[in-house]
Amino acid sequence: MGRRSRPLAFVAGAAVGILGGMIGLGGAEFRLPLLLLLFGFTALPAVVFNKAMSLVVVATALPARLIAVPPGELGDEWDVVLNLLTGSLIGAWIGATWAIRMRTATLYKVLAVLLVLMAVVLAAHHAGTVSELDLPSGARFVAGVVAGVGIGVVAALMGVAGGELLIPTIVLLYGLDIKLAGSVSLAVSLPTMLVAFARYSRDSSFAVLRENRGFAVAMAAGSVIGTVVGGLLLDVVADDVLIPILVAVLLLSSIKVWGHR
Protein backbone atom coordinates (compact mmCIF):
# COMPACT_ATOMS: atom_id res chain seq x y z
CA MET A 1 0.00 0.00 0.00
CA GLY A 2 3.18 2.15 0.20
CA ARG A 3 2.25 5.31 -1.63
CA ARG A 4 -1.45 4.93 -0.88
CA SER A 5 -1.48 6.06 2.72
CA ARG A 6 -4.85 7.10 4.09
CA PRO A 7 -3.66 10.43 5.58
CA LEU A 8 -2.18 11.43 2.21
CA ALA A 9 -5.41 10.34 0.50
CA PHE A 10 -7.40 12.57 2.85
CA VAL A 11 -5.10 15.56 2.21
CA ALA A 12 -5.19 15.02 -1.56
CA GLY A 13 -8.97 14.67 -1.52
CA ALA A 14 -9.33 17.84 0.55
CA ALA A 15 -6.98 19.82 -1.70
CA VAL A 16 -8.88 18.78 -4.83
CA GLY A 17 -12.18 19.47 -3.08
CA ILE A 18 -11.10 22.99 -2.14
CA LEU A 19 -10.11 23.74 -5.74
CA GLY A 20 -13.35 22.28 -7.03
CA GLY A 21 -15.42 24.15 -4.47
CA MET A 22 -13.78 27.45 -5.32
CA ILE A 23 -14.42 27.15 -9.06
CA GLY A 24 -17.73 25.26 -8.89
CA LEU A 25 -16.56 21.82 -10.08
CA GLY A 26 -16.29 18.39 -8.51
CA GLY A 27 -12.52 18.44 -9.02
CA ALA A 28 -12.31 15.01 -10.68
CA GLU A 29 -10.16 16.34 -13.51
CA PHE A 30 -7.53 17.33 -10.93
CA ARG A 31 -7.96 14.12 -8.91
CA LEU A 32 -7.27 11.84 -11.88
CA PRO A 33 -3.62 12.91 -12.42
CA LEU A 34 -2.99 12.45 -8.67
CA LEU A 35 -4.37 8.90 -8.78
CA LEU A 36 -2.15 8.11 -11.78
CA LEU A 37 1.04 9.99 -10.96
CA LEU A 38 1.11 10.24 -7.15
CA PHE A 39 -0.69 7.15 -5.93
CA GLY A 40 0.40 4.75 -8.65
CA PHE A 41 -2.96 3.54 -9.95
CA THR A 42 -2.99 2.21 -13.48
CA ALA A 43 -5.30 3.81 -16.04
CA LEU A 44 -8.58 1.88 -15.76
CA PRO A 45 -8.54 1.45 -11.94
CA ALA A 46 -7.79 5.19 -11.65
CA VAL A 47 -10.83 6.00 -13.81
CA VAL A 48 -13.12 3.71 -11.78
CA PHE A 49 -11.77 5.08 -8.49
CA ASN A 50 -12.15 8.66 -9.73
CA LYS A 51 -15.74 7.91 -10.71
CA ALA A 52 -16.46 6.71 -7.16
CA MET A 53 -15.04 9.90 -5.65
CA SER A 54 -16.98 12.02 -8.15
CA LEU A 55 -20.17 10.19 -7.20
CA VAL A 56 -19.61 10.99 -3.51
CA VAL A 57 -19.06 14.69 -4.23
CA VAL A 58 -22.09 14.97 -6.54
CA ALA A 59 -24.35 13.06 -4.13
CA THR A 60 -23.29 15.52 -1.41
CA ALA A 61 -23.48 18.65 -3.54
CA LEU A 62 -26.95 18.08 -5.02
CA PRO A 63 -28.91 18.19 -1.72
CA ALA A 64 -26.63 20.93 -0.38
CA ARG A 65 -27.53 23.16 -3.35
CA LEU A 66 -31.27 22.79 -2.69
CA ILE A 67 -30.91 25.67 -0.23
CA ALA A 68 -29.82 28.00 -3.02
CA VAL A 69 -31.91 26.34 -5.73
CA PRO A 70 -35.22 25.06 -4.28
CA PRO A 71 -36.62 21.70 -5.53
CA GLY A 72 -39.46 23.55 -7.27
CA GLU A 73 -37.07 25.50 -9.49
CA LEU A 74 -35.13 22.36 -10.33
CA GLY A 75 -38.36 20.46 -10.99
CA ASP A 76 -39.45 23.11 -13.49
CA GLU A 77 -36.50 22.09 -15.66
CA TRP A 78 -37.32 18.36 -15.75
CA ASP A 79 -37.53 18.49 -19.55
CA VAL A 80 -33.94 19.76 -19.76
CA VAL A 81 -32.75 17.00 -17.43
CA LEU A 82 -34.55 14.32 -19.45
CA ASN A 83 -33.30 15.73 -22.75
CA LEU A 84 -29.67 15.56 -21.69
CA LEU A 85 -30.12 12.24 -19.88
CA THR A 86 -31.47 10.67 -23.07
CA GLY A 87 -28.00 11.07 -24.53
CA SER A 88 -25.75 10.98 -21.48
CA LEU A 89 -26.95 7.58 -20.22
CA ILE A 90 -26.16 6.05 -23.60
CA GLY A 91 -22.82 7.86 -23.71
CA ALA A 92 -21.90 6.71 -20.20
CA TRP A 93 -22.45 3.06 -21.14
CA ILE A 94 -20.47 3.45 -24.37
CA GLY A 95 -17.61 5.30 -22.64
CA ALA A 96 -17.31 2.73 -19.87
CA THR A 97 -17.33 -0.09 -22.44
CA TRP A 98 -14.56 1.58 -24.43
CA ALA A 99 -12.48 2.15 -21.28
CA ILE A 100 -12.75 -1.52 -20.30
CA ARG A 101 -11.77 -2.75 -23.76
CA MET A 102 -8.94 -0.31 -24.48
CA ARG A 103 -5.33 -1.33 -24.10
CA THR A 104 -3.76 0.39 -21.10
CA ALA A 105 -1.31 2.38 -23.25
CA THR A 106 -4.17 3.61 -25.44
CA LEU A 107 -6.26 4.62 -22.43
CA TYR A 108 -3.38 6.70 -21.06
CA LYS A 109 -3.24 8.59 -24.39
CA VAL A 110 -7.02 9.12 -24.40
CA LEU A 111 -6.95 10.42 -20.82
CA ALA A 112 -4.13 12.83 -21.71
CA VAL A 113 -6.14 14.24 -24.63
CA LEU A 114 -9.25 14.59 -22.46
CA LEU A 115 -7.25 16.47 -19.81
CA VAL A 116 -6.30 18.96 -22.53
CA LEU A 117 -9.99 19.19 -23.47
CA MET A 118 -10.89 19.94 -19.84
CA ALA A 119 -8.22 22.67 -19.75
CA VAL A 120 -9.55 24.25 -22.96
CA VAL A 121 -13.17 24.17 -21.75
CA LEU A 122 -12.21 25.61 -18.36
CA ALA A 123 -10.24 28.43 -19.99
CA ALA A 124 -12.95 29.16 -22.57
CA HIS A 125 -15.72 29.19 -19.98
CA HIS A 126 -13.70 31.60 -17.84
CA ALA A 127 -12.83 33.86 -20.78
CA GLY A 128 -16.36 34.98 -21.54
CA THR A 129 -20.07 34.52 -20.99
CA VAL A 130 -21.99 31.91 -22.96
CA SER A 131 -25.11 33.07 -24.80
CA GLU A 132 -28.14 30.93 -25.55
CA LEU A 133 -28.46 29.54 -29.08
CA ASP A 134 -31.70 30.43 -30.82
CA LEU A 135 -32.83 26.98 -31.98
CA PRO A 136 -36.26 25.50 -32.77
CA SER A 137 -37.46 23.10 -30.06
CA GLY A 138 -36.89 20.02 -32.24
CA ALA A 139 -33.34 21.02 -33.13
CA ARG A 140 -32.65 21.87 -29.50
CA PHE A 141 -33.80 18.40 -28.41
CA VAL A 142 -31.55 16.69 -30.98
CA ALA A 143 -28.61 18.92 -29.99
CA GLY A 144 -29.23 18.06 -26.33
CA VAL A 145 -29.19 14.32 -27.03
CA VAL A 146 -26.01 14.56 -29.12
CA ALA A 147 -24.30 16.74 -26.50
CA GLY A 148 -25.45 14.33 -23.78
CA VAL A 149 -23.90 11.36 -25.58
CA GLY A 150 -20.57 13.14 -25.94
CA ILE A 151 -20.54 14.32 -22.34
CA GLY A 152 -21.53 10.87 -21.08
CA VAL A 153 -18.67 9.27 -23.01
CA VAL A 154 -16.11 11.76 -21.67
CA ALA A 155 -17.42 11.48 -18.11
CA ALA A 156 -17.23 7.67 -18.17
CA LEU A 157 -13.77 7.59 -19.75
CA MET A 158 -12.28 10.03 -17.23
CA GLY A 159 -14.34 9.18 -14.17
CA VAL A 160 -15.59 12.76 -13.88
CA ALA A 161 -19.06 14.11 -13.18
CA GLY A 162 -18.93 16.15 -16.38
CA GLY A 163 -20.07 19.47 -14.92
CA GLU A 164 -17.35 21.41 -16.72
CA LEU A 165 -18.97 20.32 -20.00
CA LEU A 166 -22.60 20.13 -18.87
CA ILE A 167 -22.91 23.63 -17.40
CA PRO A 168 -21.81 25.53 -20.55
CA THR A 169 -24.02 23.20 -22.63
CA ILE A 170 -27.07 23.89 -20.44
CA VAL A 171 -26.51 27.66 -20.58
CA LEU A 172 -25.88 27.55 -24.35
CA LEU A 173 -28.82 25.32 -25.35
CA TYR A 174 -31.47 26.23 -22.77
CA GLY A 175 -30.54 29.72 -21.56
CA LEU A 176 -30.63 28.86 -17.84
CA ASP A 177 -28.74 31.06 -15.37
CA ILE A 178 -25.46 29.66 -14.09
CA LYS A 179 -26.74 28.81 -10.60
CA LEU A 180 -29.70 26.80 -11.87
CA ALA A 181 -27.52 25.25 -14.60
CA GLY A 182 -25.19 23.93 -11.89
CA SER A 183 -28.04 22.10 -10.13
CA VAL A 184 -29.44 20.74 -13.40
CA SER A 185 -25.93 19.54 -14.22
CA LEU A 186 -25.77 17.61 -10.94
CA ALA A 187 -29.22 16.11 -11.58
CA VAL A 188 -27.95 14.84 -14.95
CA SER A 189 -24.56 13.74 -13.62
CA LEU A 190 -25.82 11.51 -10.81
CA PRO A 191 -27.76 8.94 -12.92
CA THR A 192 -25.14 9.18 -15.67
CA MET A 193 -22.40 8.15 -13.25
CA LEU A 194 -24.55 5.34 -11.88
CA VAL A 195 -24.94 3.92 -15.40
CA ALA A 196 -21.17 4.01 -15.91
CA PHE A 197 -20.74 2.29 -12.55
CA ALA A 198 -23.20 -0.41 -13.59
CA ARG A 199 -21.08 -1.06 -16.69
CA TYR A 200 -17.80 -1.05 -14.76
CA SER A 201 -19.26 -3.42 -12.14
CA ARG A 202 -19.46 -6.11 -14.81
CA ASP A 203 -15.69 -6.02 -15.20
CA SER A 204 -12.95 -7.13 -12.77
CA SER A 205 -11.53 -3.57 -12.67
CA PHE A 206 -14.37 -2.66 -10.29
CA ALA A 207 -12.47 -4.60 -7.61
CA VAL A 208 -10.17 -1.58 -7.12
CA LEU A 209 -12.78 -0.11 -4.76
CA ARG A 210 -12.89 -3.22 -2.56
CA GLU A 211 -9.11 -3.56 -2.54
CA ASN A 212 -8.62 0.10 -1.52
CA ARG A 213 -11.65 0.55 0.73
CA GLY A 214 -9.87 2.44 3.53
CA PHE A 215 -8.01 4.63 1.05
CA ALA A 216 -11.30 5.40 -0.73
CA VAL A 217 -13.09 6.37 2.50
CA ALA A 218 -10.22 8.69 3.48
CA MET A 219 -10.14 10.41 0.08
CA ALA A 220 -13.94 10.70 -0.04
CA ALA A 221 -14.01 12.32 3.41
CA GLY A 222 -11.30 14.77 2.37
CA SER A 223 -13.12 15.53 -0.88
CA VAL A 224 -16.42 16.35 0.83
CA ILE A 225 -14.81 18.52 3.51
CA GLY A 226 -12.61 20.25 0.95
CA THR A 227 -15.57 21.00 -1.32
CA VAL A 228 -17.42 22.69 1.55
CA VAL A 229 -14.32 24.69 2.55
CA GLY A 230 -13.71 25.66 -1.07
CA GLY A 231 -17.23 27.02 -1.34
CA LEU A 232 -16.65 29.13 1.77
CA LEU A 233 -13.36 30.41 0.33
CA LEU A 234 -14.98 31.31 -2.98
CA ASP A 235 -14.00 34.98 -2.85
CA VAL A 236 -10.55 34.56 -1.30
CA VAL A 237 -8.64 33.84 -4.51
CA ALA A 238 -9.70 35.68 -7.67
CA ASP A 239 -10.69 33.53 -10.65
CA ASP A 240 -8.30 35.57 -12.79
CA VAL A 241 -5.46 34.11 -10.72
CA LEU A 242 -6.83 30.64 -9.98
CA ILE A 243 -8.13 29.55 -13.40
CA PRO A 244 -4.89 30.07 -15.39
CA ILE A 245 -2.95 28.14 -12.73
CA LEU A 246 -5.41 25.24 -12.88
CA VAL A 247 -5.37 25.23 -16.69
CA ALA A 248 -1.57 25.03 -16.57
CA VAL A 249 -1.79 22.15 -14.05
CA LEU A 250 -4.14 20.23 -16.35
CA LEU A 251 -1.90 20.76 -19.37
CA LEU A 252 1.21 19.69 -17.45
CA SER A 253 -0.65 16.65 -16.12
CA SER A 254 -1.71 15.71 -19.64
CA ILE A 255 1.93 15.68 -20.76
CA LYS A 256 2.91 13.44 -17.85
CA VAL A 257 -0.04 11.10 -18.36
CA TRP A 258 0.69 10.86 -22.10
CA GLY A 259 4.19 9.56 -21.36
CA HIS A 260 3.08 7.37 -18.43
CA ARG A 261 3.93 3.66 -18.53
**pLDDT at residue number 2:** 43
pTM: 0.81
Going residue by residue through the chain (261 aa), what tens digit of pLDDT does each one get? 445 789 999 999 999 888 877 766 677 888 999 999 899 899 899 999 998 898 888 877 777 666 666 778 778 889 999 999 999 999 999 999 999 998 888 988 998 998 898 888 778 767 765 566 788 989 999 999 999 999 999 989 988 888 778 888 888 889 887 778 878 888 898 899 889 888 888 777 778 888 899 999 999 999 889 888 877 776 676 667 777 877 888 888 888 888 766
Ramachandran category for residue 250: left, alpha or beta (phi over 0 → left; psi -120 to 50 → alpha): alpha
Q: Which residues of 80-103 are buried (b: 16+ CB within 10 A; e: fewer)?
A: bbebbbebbbbbbbbbbbebbebe
Residue 170 to residues 8, 37, 177, 194, 235: CA-CA distances in angstroms?
36, 33, 9, 21, 25
